[in-house]
Amino acid sequence: MAAQQRASESYESGVEEICESLSSRSFDLISGDKVKSLLLRRSETALDDLEPFRDSWSRMPLDGYMADGGRYRAAGTRR
């Protein structure tokens, strides 16, 4: 129970840190490793569906309504 409480507090402090940055600077640059760690503190299964999501994301057709034609998604598919 104590470990779960610490994980919850750690998650909450991580979220608060992001919120403070967004509030003061209107943006935040967060590493993928930090996001992964934060998600896993929230739930051990948080990333269980990541691979199926990546697969579905890469199969989505380009969106011609976007200014860049939907190519922004291609930049985010690195593993």
Give the tens place of pLDDT for each residue, 28-73.
Answer: 899 999 999 999 988 899 999 999 988 998 888 888 888 888 777 6
73-79: Cβ within 8 A, 24+ apart:
79/54
Q: Domain coordinates of the chain in residue numbers? A: 1-47, 49-79
User: 64 to each of 19, 33, 55, 69, how far by Cα in Å?
Assistant: 33, 32, 21, 4
Give the number of other CB atoms < 10 A from CB of residue 21: 14
Which pLDDT score, from 0 to 100, does residue 51 have? 93
